[in-house]
Amino acid sequence: MFVGNHAYGLVEVAVWRGEPERGWELARAALDLVAEHEYLFYTARLYVAAIRAAAEIAQRARTLGDDAAAEAAVRDARAAHERFSHLLEPDRWSNLDELLKREHDQGECLLACASVRH
Protein backbone atom coordinates (compact mmCIF):
# COMPACT_ATOMS: atom_id res chain seq x y z
CA MET A 1 0.00 0.00 0.00
CA PHE A 2 2.70 2.51 0.96
CA VAL A 3 4.98 1.51 -1.90
CA GLY A 4 3.39 4.22 -4.06
CA ASN A 5 4.86 7.09 -2.07
CA HIS A 6 8.33 5.58 -2.00
CA ALA A 7 8.28 4.59 -5.66
CA TYR A 8 7.10 8.08 -6.62
CA GLY A 9 10.30 9.55 -5.25
CA LEU A 10 12.47 7.00 -7.02
CA VAL A 11 10.72 7.62 -10.33
CA GLU A 12 11.10 11.38 -9.99
CA VAL A 13 14.82 11.05 -9.25
CA ALA A 14 15.30 8.78 -12.26
CA VAL A 15 13.53 11.26 -14.55
CA TRP A 16 15.52 14.19 -13.13
CA ARG A 17 18.74 12.25 -13.68
CA GLY A 18 17.85 11.81 -17.35
CA GLU A 19 16.89 8.14 -16.96
CA PRO A 20 13.17 8.15 -17.86
CA GLU A 21 13.28 4.49 -18.99
CA ARG A 22 14.40 3.48 -15.49
CA GLY A 23 11.72 5.72 -14.02
CA TRP A 24 9.04 4.11 -16.18
CA GLU A 25 10.19 0.60 -15.24
CA LEU A 26 10.16 1.47 -11.53
CA ALA A 27 6.68 2.99 -11.80
CA ARG A 28 5.33 0.05 -13.80
CA ALA A 29 6.75 -2.47 -11.33
CA ALA A 30 5.30 -0.62 -8.33
CA LEU A 31 1.88 -0.21 -9.96
CA ASP A 32 1.87 -3.90 -10.93
CA LEU A 33 2.69 -4.78 -7.32
CA VAL A 34 -0.34 -2.95 -5.90
CA ALA A 35 -2.77 -3.66 -8.75
CA GLU A 36 -5.07 -5.98 -6.78
CA HIS A 37 -5.32 -3.86 -3.63
CA GLU A 38 -4.66 -0.32 -4.73
CA TYR A 39 -5.54 2.80 -2.78
CA LEU A 40 -5.35 5.77 -5.10
CA PHE A 41 -4.52 8.01 -2.15
CA TYR A 42 -1.11 6.31 -2.03
CA THR A 43 -0.50 5.90 -5.76
CA ALA A 44 -1.84 9.09 -7.37
CA ARG A 45 1.56 10.81 -7.43
CA LEU A 46 3.12 7.64 -8.79
CA TYR A 47 0.76 7.78 -11.77
CA VAL A 48 1.81 11.37 -12.43
CA ALA A 49 5.48 10.43 -12.26
CA ALA A 50 4.92 7.39 -14.50
CA ILE A 51 3.19 9.50 -17.14
CA ARG A 52 5.93 12.12 -16.88
CA ALA A 53 8.56 9.40 -17.44
CA ALA A 54 6.65 8.10 -20.46
CA ALA A 55 6.40 11.64 -21.85
CA GLU A 56 10.16 12.09 -21.47
CA ILE A 57 10.76 8.81 -23.26
CA ALA A 58 8.42 9.84 -26.10
CA GLN A 59 10.00 13.28 -26.43
CA ARG A 60 13.52 11.84 -26.52
CA ALA A 61 12.49 9.17 -29.05
CA ARG A 62 10.88 11.77 -31.33
CA THR A 63 13.98 13.93 -31.13
CA LEU A 64 16.09 10.96 -32.19
CA GLY A 65 13.66 10.08 -35.00
CA ASP A 66 12.47 6.83 -33.37
CA ASP A 67 8.75 7.12 -34.05
CA ALA A 68 8.03 3.53 -32.97
CA ALA A 69 9.54 4.08 -29.51
CA ALA A 70 7.72 7.40 -29.22
CA GLU A 71 4.37 5.78 -30.03
CA ALA A 72 5.05 2.95 -27.57
CA ALA A 73 5.74 5.50 -24.82
CA VAL A 74 2.55 7.38 -25.67
CA ARG A 75 0.58 4.12 -25.46
CA ASP A 76 2.16 3.40 -22.08
CA ALA A 77 1.21 6.86 -20.82
CA ARG A 78 -2.35 6.47 -22.09
CA ALA A 79 -2.67 3.06 -20.42
CA ALA A 80 -1.47 4.50 -17.12
CA HIS A 81 -3.92 7.40 -17.44
CA GLU A 82 -6.76 5.00 -18.25
CA ARG A 83 -5.99 2.89 -15.19
CA PHE A 84 -5.84 6.02 -13.03
CA SER A 85 -9.16 7.24 -14.44
CA HIS A 86 -10.76 3.85 -13.83
CA LEU A 87 -9.87 4.12 -10.14
CA LEU A 88 -11.85 7.38 -10.00
CA GLU A 89 -15.06 6.00 -11.55
CA PRO A 90 -18.13 6.42 -9.32
CA ASP A 91 -19.17 2.77 -9.75
CA ARG A 92 -15.99 1.73 -8.01
CA TRP A 93 -17.24 3.54 -4.91
CA SER A 94 -20.80 2.17 -4.94
CA ASN A 95 -20.35 0.69 -1.45
CA LEU A 96 -19.07 3.94 0.07
CA ASP A 97 -21.98 4.23 2.51
CA GLU A 98 -21.30 0.72 3.78
CA LEU A 99 -17.58 1.46 4.18
CA LEU A 100 -18.28 4.70 6.04
CA LYS A 101 -20.73 2.97 8.39
CA ARG A 102 -18.19 0.23 9.12
CA GLU A 103 -15.53 2.88 9.89
CA HIS A 104 -18.00 4.73 12.12
CA ASP A 105 -18.90 1.52 13.98
CA GLN A 106 -15.24 0.69 14.50
CA GLY A 107 -14.63 4.21 15.79
CA GLU A 108 -17.53 3.89 18.23
CA CYS A 109 -16.13 0.57 19.44
CA LEU A 110 -12.69 2.10 20.01
CA LEU A 111 -14.22 4.99 21.96
CA ALA A 112 -16.22 2.57 24.12
CA CYS A 113 -13.10 0.48 24.80
CA ALA A 114 -11.09 3.57 25.69
CA SER A 115 -13.73 4.81 28.14
CA VAL A 116 -13.86 1.41 29.89
CA ARG A 117 -10.11 1.38 30.46
CA HIS A 118 -10.16 4.69 32.32
pLDDT per position in the chain (118 positions), as tens? 678 889 999 999 999 999 999 999 999 999 999 988 888 888 999 999 999 999 999 999 999 999 999 999 999 999 999 999 988 887 766 665 665 666 656 666 556 555 555 4
The verdict on 50 and 98 lying in the same domain is no
- Following CA atoms 62, 67, 72, 73 in sequence, which dihedral angle do they give, to the nearest 10 degrees? 0
The verdict on 100 and 71 lying in the same domain is no
The verdict on 73 and 22 lying in the same domain is yes
* Its pTM surpasses 0.85: no
- Cβ contact 46:76 at 8 Å: no
Residue 39: give the domain boundaries: 3-87
The verdict on 52 and 12 lying in the same domain is yes
- Three-state DSSP at 18 gives coil
CA–CA dist 86, 75 (Å, integer):
16
- Integer CA distances (angstroms), 43 to 6, 7, 10, 53, in order: 10, 9, 13, 15
